[in-house]
Structure 1
Amino acid sequence: MRQRFGIGACGLTRQQLPVGIVMLLVAMIGSVRAAESPMPSIQPPPKGFDRVDQKIVAGKLTTIEYPSKTVGANRKAQVYLPPGFDANQKYPVLYLLHGIGGTEQEWTRGGVANVILDRLAAEKKMVPMIVVMPNGRAATDVSPRDAIPKQVPAFARFEQDLLNDLIPYIEKTYPVKADRESRALAGLSMGGGQSLNFGLSNLDTFAWVGGFSSAPNTRKFADLVKNPEAAKQKLKLLWVSCGDRDGLMGISRGFHEALEQAKIPHVWHVESGGHDFEVWKRDLYHLAPLLFR
């Protein structure tokens, strides 16, 4: 499997990354070098990383309902609790968003996110975290079967549902660390666009942001990064990735290039593949260990 890996922002050095992330990148790719040097290849996940292994202790996956004042109805989300979950311990939270045709179940049905997270936990490669997979379509009268133009406003409206309804509910219901450095936001396709849009517009809420194969809902760089210095100071990690045969590559590459021009540290990762879960499963496997270090 051919893969390429780059560290953006015109030659991001070890000193510009948190120590924990550097250690993980070293383990994953052998070394971290400045951008002017050839980038080593990231190692693919181990064979079977996305298959259930009965020898691995599984986390707990549940479907919840939370009250949404934004939508005026109860809404659903899936919540993953890590193996060995302890109600007396506080955890960071990853909010993981789906694509245009998905629901709160897409990441576990198509992306087997819980299986991947279980393996990472068993391998002790990630910080124990709670993962929330919501329905990113904030409306009662819009479904995945509707035309895309009808769905787009509901995906944009989810920003308010996420900030004002879902996050407060999670922080009231689960033992989580309720600070920006303990919140991550990532997603695929339409959810990748949401993650960049919402994450970069709300740096006081999220310190870790990731967009996988981000869709055309991604707002212009100038609209999202109005203060590059604030982004440099507040972001713990910004991840931008796409498949090398993805028709939406131009969006992710353009965003990466704008980040480089603004000298904003970020990880730019190109996977081998198209616009599908074979790419996004690997993205999750590579991103999750970098969070909350």
Structure 2
Amino acid sequence: MKKRLSKILSLSITAALLVPTMASATDMQETPAPAPFQSVIDQGATGTMDNTGQNALANTPVVPAPPGYDGYRNNIPHGNTNLISYYSTTVGNTRKATVYTPPGYSPNKKYNVLYLLHGIGGDEHEWVNAMKPKNILDNLYSEGKLSQMIVVMPNGRAMKDDRPVGDIFAPDKVAAFERFEQDLIKDLIPHIEANYPVYKDKNSRALAGLSMGGGQSLNFGLKNLNTFAWVGAFSAAPNTQSVSQLVSNPGQVASQLKLLWISCGSSDGLLWVSQNFKNGLSSMNIPHTFYVDVGGHEPSVWNSGLYQFSQRIFK
């Protein structure tokens, strides 16, 4: 696992040099690394986050996850994960996703939906196999800290052979990560809403991801404000577009997003991506929460990101 993640990090840095359209020269300038556990909550002059008291957690300092937050607990109710299939008109074949349903799930209840994206070397199994989302969510439910939600973990590589094999930076694979925006909006979300008892408004949808999936979440979330009200990126990779590319109306973003979360490990070689995105948001007075965790480009940071983000959404 460590070798694979180290390779992904190395390839991600290489990608920043090979794909200049992913970030402008200004965005690629490095800034001094902040200290671990730094939490910056920036409302900005035009910010509306928590102005009505609807999302108080978005404006509170981030407290590091406690020991054992991601460990399995025997004496609590547990949710379930299932692999589903859906037809993608974008790709032209059947695709798969893993769905987490919370403890006490019932077709007679209504749920919010978090779409949770993987990294460049992963697929619909990566979150469950490499991280601990089920433990984290089950434990938070047992503590009464989560709103009712299902979590959909799709394959963010929208192509017919979407396995993470061969050259993961091949042009067709890079294009497939971009194409997933259409698969997500036109195919996956409608499938989930047709087959699960979920709310169907933007305030009931969140989008977040790790590394490449973090970049996708920022790229797609800020361009689809009518679809998602909660957006998070954990250790965003260099596929992240600049704020100036994604935002033409800062006031609209500030008023429509309920939470824009960015977190990264203090020793991550890609920390500059998150820092520069945060700087771009600040320059446009767009409300956001920026959190610097302990660690590198690794599962512990992504587990922590999910722990923090999931408690702040749908509130």
Normalised to the residue count of structure 2, the TM-score between the two structures is 0.84
Deviates more, 1:136-145 or 1:194-203: 136-145
Residue 19 of structure 1 corresponds to 53
| Cα distance in structure 2, aligned partners of 1:201 and 1:155 | 15
The answer (yes or no) to whether the contact 2:121–2:168 under 8 Å persists in 1 is no
**Alpha-carbon separation, structure 2, partners of 1:15 and 1:192:** 21
Q: Aligned partner of 1:8: which letter?
A: D
Distance in 1 (alpha carbons) for counterparts of 2:45 and 2:132: 34
Q: Deviations over 1:61-91 (max 9, x none)?
A: 1100001111111101011111111211111
State the AA in 2 paired with 1:192: G
What are the residue-to-residue correspondences of 1:114-193 with 2, within 5 Å? 114-150=134-170, 151-193=173-215
Say which of 90, 94, 97 aligns to 2:117: 97
Counterpart among 67, 70, 73 of residue 50 in structure 1: 70
CA distance in 1, matches of 2:304, 2:257: 23
Deviation for aligned residue 1:209: 0.4
**Alpha-carbon distance change, 211 to 275 in structure 1, aligned in 2, over 3 angstroms:** same
2:267 is the alignment partner of 1:245: yes
CA separation of 1:10/1:204 partners in 2, compared to 1, >3 Å: closer, same or farther? closer
In the aligned structure 1, how far is the partner of 2:140 from the partner of 2:52? Answer: 20
For residues 200 and 15 of structure 1, do their structure 2 counterparts lie closer, same or farther at Cα, with a shift above 3 Å needed?
A: closer
Residue of structure 2 aligned with 1:5, choices 9, 30, 39: 39
Tell me the CA shift for residue 49 of structure 1: 1.4
CA change 1:210–1:134 in 2 (3 A) is same
Q: Verify: 1:196 aligned to 2:196, yes or no.
A: no
Fraction of identical pairs, as percent: 49
The aligned amino acid for 1:208 is W
In the TM superposition, residue 115 of structure 1 has moved relative to its aligned partner by 1.0
Structure with more contact order per residue of length (Cα contacts < 8 Å, sep ≥ 6): 2
CA separation of 1:23 and 1:152: change in aligned 2, threshold 3 A = closer
Find the partner of 2:227 among 196, 205, 218.
205
Match of 2:295 in 1: 273
| Structure 1 portions without partners, runs of 5+ | 30-41
- Structure 1 letter corresponding to 2:108: N
Pairing 1:66–2:95 present: no
Q: Count how many residue pairs are aligned between Structure 1 and Structure 2.
A: 279
Cα distance in 2 for residues equivalent to 1:76 and 1:123: 31
Secondary structure at the aligned position of 1:149 is classed as: coil
Alpha-carbon deviation of 1:11? 7.9
Alignment root-mean-square deviation, CA:
1.9
Q: CA deviation at 1:126?
A: 0.9
Structure 1 runs, 4 residues or longer, greater than 3 Å off: 9-18, 23-26
Per the alignment, in what secondary structure is the counterpart of residue 49 of structure 1? Answer: coil
Q: Distance in 2 between matches of 1:139 and 1:232?
A: 33
The 3-state SS of whatever aligns with 2:55 is helix
* Secondary structure in 2 matching 1:133: strand
